[in-house]
A = this chain, B = another copy of it.
């Protein structure tokens, strides 16, 4: 009887992706119909290589570890960036996956990931169904980019937004300390969608004299308008903070951060990030002191300032995913819809995963105030509840006591 369970994670990490894993494991451990729970290490790429571990053995008798797993950022089962070919072009990967599923008596397969991963879910579902295998294949969403359609917001986004808004709050105060004109540019993740950069709008503390200047990838970068806005803010407040998407492009669609063609002193091509490009422009045009900050992967892994709303929603989505599979659903992604902003309320459900696969949701044009380099009140209402609440993370020797297992 194929009542065993296989779970894997894919794509970029978030602070909430292990909460979804913990949600699936918790629901499966509580279920009487479920068999053994397995984890595939390094996503579908690892499953093809049969990198399979027993999560039942690891967690069934260790509720403390399961609780720590929920609050550990990044991916307990590690990741991959492996894209399956279309089955009608080359079905060898699918045949191999099916072998592994059968060897481990897998009746449910859960894949936690973003829109690429949902494409993988849709294809595995179709292939196994066509072969007449009885395997429930379910997608569980996550991405700090918040760019999945159908779902109100993606698990992982709220925690990344809380980290970005908190850090921007601290950077705003810092930048305003000196009686000399100065500008700080913070580069924020999200190459094609500006949701995370937009969360900078929440940053100013009460009474603060300056607003962050927000540059989203949805708006072509206009150097003159940008410099005017920075100059205006520096004249008004004495300083300015710019929150710029790493994916900022000019009117020709070229990245602001494009390779400059220059070589550094070791003879390597000089790659300029968005922060570096913008600090150069500001220094040249305004002549004042300018600093750049590139938070990089720290944004997607900041479990120490995770949003409780985000972690709990992700856990529930994982738990729901198991229940859908148990009741016979397949080829769906667990999701949530917003019912109210204030009080904030969501309802949970599911959607055909093929509707979500490969589609991208950017920031709506009418939520962007292009002239003022900011976002509208609708965006603020949308963002505010997603960063609310703090988890009681345990610390050991002064550092978050994250769960890490080597799997080898």
The interface of chain A, by Cβ under 8 A from chain B, is: 13, 42, 45-46, 73-75, 78-81, 162, 165-167, 169-171, 173-180, 184, 202-203, 205-209, 258, 260-273, 275-277, 279-281, 283-284, 291-298, 300-305, 307, 309, 384, 386-390, 395, 397-402, 404-406
For residue A296, which residues in chain B have a CB less than 8 angstroms away from its CB?
171, 184, 291-294
Q: Determine how close the nearest CB of chain B comes to the CB of A318; give it in whole angstroms.
A: 19
- 30 intermolecular pairs with C-beta atoms under 8 Å apart: A13-B174, A73-B174, A74-B173, A74-B174, A78-B176, A78-B178, A80-B179, A170-B301, A170-B304, A173-B301, A174-B297, A205-B399, A205-B402, A262-B262, A262-B270, A264-B277, A266-B284, A268-B283, A270-B270, A270-B280, A273-B276, A273-B292, A276-B276, A291-B296, A292-B294, A293-B294, A293-B297, A295-B298, A384-B398, A389-B395
A72 to B276, CA, bound (A): 29
Q: How far is the CA of A388 from the CA of B395 in the complex (A)?
A: 9
Evaluate contact between A294 and B294: CB separation under 8 angstroms: yes
- Interchain CB contact under 8 A, B207 and A405: yes
Q: How far is the CB of A25 from chain B (nearest CB, A)?
A: 19
The residue of chain B having its C-beta at the shortest distance from the C-beta of A262 within the complex is: B262
Q: Which of B272, B307, B309, B384 contacts A270 (CB 8 A)?
A: B272
Q: A298-B293, A298-B295, A405-B207 are in contact. Are A165 and B399 (CB under 8 A)?
A: yes
Contact B395 A390 (CB under 8 A): yes
Q: Is the CB of B169 within 8 A of A399?
A: yes
